[in-house]
Amino acid sequence: MKYLLPTSKEWQNIFDNLSKKEKILFIVFFLCAWTVGTFILIRIDKYYSMRVPTDGGYITEGIVGTPRFINPLLSISDADRDLTRIIYAGLMKSDGKGGLEPQLAERYEISKDGLLYTFYLRKNLYWHDNERLTADDVVYTINLAKNPTIRSPRLANWEGIAVEASGDYEIRFTLKKPFAPFLENTTIGIMPKHIWEKVSPEEFSLSQFNTHPVGSGPFQINTVNKNADGGITSYELKRFKRYLPSPAYLYGITFKIFQSEDELVKAVENRDIETATVEHAKIPKTSAIIEFKMPRVVGVFFNQDAAPILRDGILRDALVRAVDRSRIIREAEDGNAIPTSLPIPPGTFSYASTLESLARDVDGAREILKKASYEDTDSDGILEKNSKKNKQKKL
């Protein structure tokens, strides 16, 4: 036996034969059923489906300051670093979760004693000018970083580390002592030897390739726009088709350059740009805010040369115990920071939560100082300590 649903014409006939009261009830029932069904579908979509961005599209971002060194060895400013990160690629890169994952490297091995790191490059790696990228480029980049004439801010990361290539795809780093955060060093962008070997170390910071770079990262320079005076106003980047795996979603990114944060904020308000990093207090009310953790530490360092009294370890211990990190974050950073007592920030590679000590203990700090003979002898609210020569040292 077959059961068939009524056709639209049959539904019309059924509806026409209903009384006025029955028609009202039918419409009310239909609307209720439609509303409940829609609600159920929305809930199902929320809990059992995943929204995935569509591949493609372009985005315009604003940055403050004209980039001068789009160069992994020289980049200092935020504008330099923003462009360097996506134009160049390193052996390793951030995984966005506080860890690291291979980028140009296919895999790596660490010796049991922690002194030898061996990296194996992916096959078929290319520069944006379609030249092949090999282990020689890696060795060349690290040796450049170690060259004091270059004056790279990354010099300290590579001092005392030997690097050598074995064939086109294998690189070995030899350390003098085990250093757990070493993998972080290998996120440095690799530079093309066939381009930079023609530039002397003395002319390194003056090369045109600092503003018109050739890298191997997910995006490459498409157009550099300039004003009538020759100043760069924007960089248009396009997806590098030979970068593997292919960079997700975006086909291109345009970086518009502004000379002040006020100009940048105005561009956001006028919708001249779509994204920007802006001081929290200046964010336009109509903007959507995306918050993410930055791997940087703002800290207090004890200058024992300027203030010899700080050479006292007991005093430094008491000061650390007395610091109100929550108040500093609340008042100085508008609440946009995470407290830490370590030089490696939470959520980043090599952070050790077991070493974290955040408890504030003012009473304990006072007790420590009292036992160490720090006293307010003249009642001016400042502690003093008698030295061996019977001279008071004020805090």
CA atoms within 13 A on the CB side of 341: 15
* Domain that residue 334 falls in: 308-394
The reply to whether 95 and 83 lie within a common domain is no
- Can you tell me the mean pLDDT for 86-104? 90
Q: Quote the tokens at residue 172.
A: 């070995």
Q: Quote the tokens at residue 41.
A: 């579908």
The reply to whether 275 and 182 lie within a common domain is no
What is the CATH classification number for the domain harbouring 190?
Answer: 3.90.76.10
Q: Domain end: 175, 208, 241, which one?
A: 208
The reply to whether 241 and 269 lie within a common domain is yes
User: Regarding predicted confidence, which is higher, 325 or 352?
Assistant: 325
Residue 23 lies in a domain: no
User: Regarding predicted confidence, which is higher, 280 or 5?
Assistant: 280
Residue 1 lies in a domain: no
The reply to whether 186 and 223 lie within a common domain is no
Pairing, β 219-226 against β 170-174: unpaired
The reply to whether 67 and 98 lie within a common domain is no
Residue 21 lies in a domain: no
Sign for the pseudo-dihedral over CA of 214, 143, 118, 344 = negative
- What is the spatial distance between Cα 375 and Cα 119, in angstroms, rounded to a whole number? 58
Give 321-381 as a 3 state SS string. Answer: HHCCHHHHHHHHCCCCCCCCCCCCCCCCCCCCHHHCCCCCCHHHHHHHHHHCCEECCCCCC
- Can you tell me the mean pLDDT for 251-279? 91
Q: Domain end: 191, 208, 225, which one?
A: 208
The reply to whether 229 and 192 lie within a common domain is no
Contact 254, 59 (CB under 8 A): yes
Q: Which residues of 301-328 are buried (b: 16+ CB within 10 A; e: fewer)?
A: eeeeeeeeebebeebeebbebbbeeeee
pLDDT-derived band at 11 (thresholds 50, 70, 90) equals low
The reply to whether 64 and 102 lie within a common domain is no
Contact 56, 251 (CB under 8 A): yes
The gap from C-alpha 395 to its chain's centroid, in whole angstroms, comes to 39
Q: Quote the tokens at residue 337.
A: 């920071």
pLDDT score, position 145: 96
pLDDT score, position 387: 64
Q: Domain end: 172, 190, 208, which one?
A: 208
Q: Quote the tokens at residue 102.
A: 């291979």
The reply to whether 192 and 255 lie within a common domain is no
- What is the spatial distance between Cα 199 and Cα 210, in angstroms, rounded to a whole number? 11
The reply to whether 95 and 202 lie within a common domain is yes
CA proximity to 64, closest of 270, 260, 265, 278:
260
What is the CATH classification number for the domain harbouring 328?
Answer: 3.10.105.10
Using DSSP, state whether 156 is helix, strand or coil. helix
The reply to whether 123 and 203 lie within a common domain is yes
Residue 163 lies in a domain: yes
The reply to whether 113 and 131 lie within a common domain is yes
- What is the spatial distance between Cα 183 and Cα 157, in angstroms, rounded to a whole number? 11
Residue 63 lies in a domain: yes
Residue 41 lies in a domain: no
Residue 325 lies in a domain: yes
pLDDT score, position 85: 94
Q: Which of 197-211, 269-283, 373-387 has the highest mean pLDDT?
A: 197-211
Number of domains in the chain: 3
The reply to whether 188 and 249 lie within a common domain is no
CA proximity to 357, closest of 368, 366, 346:
346
Instruction: Render pLDDT for 358-393 as a digit per residue (tens, 0 to 9).
Output: 889 999 999 999 888 888 888 888 888 876 655 667
> Which residues, listed in sequence order, are joined to residue 375 by a DSSP beta bridge?
384
> Which residues, listed in sequence order, are joined to residue 224 by a DSSP beta bridge?
235
Residues whose CB falls within 8 Å of the CB of residue 244, separated by 6 or more in sequence, listed in order: 122, 124
Give 197-265 as a 3 state SS string. Answer: CCCCHHHHHHCHHHCCCCCCCCEEEEEEEECCCCCEEEEEEEECCCCCCCCCCCCEEEEEEECCHHHHH
Assess whether pLDDT exceeds 90 at residue 119. Answer: yes
The reported pTM is: 0.72
Which segments of 65-209 are extended strands (E)?
A: 92-94, 100-102, 105-110, 116-121, 162-165, 170-174
Residue 65 lies in a domain: yes
Assess whether pLDDT exceeds 70 at residue 118. Answer: yes
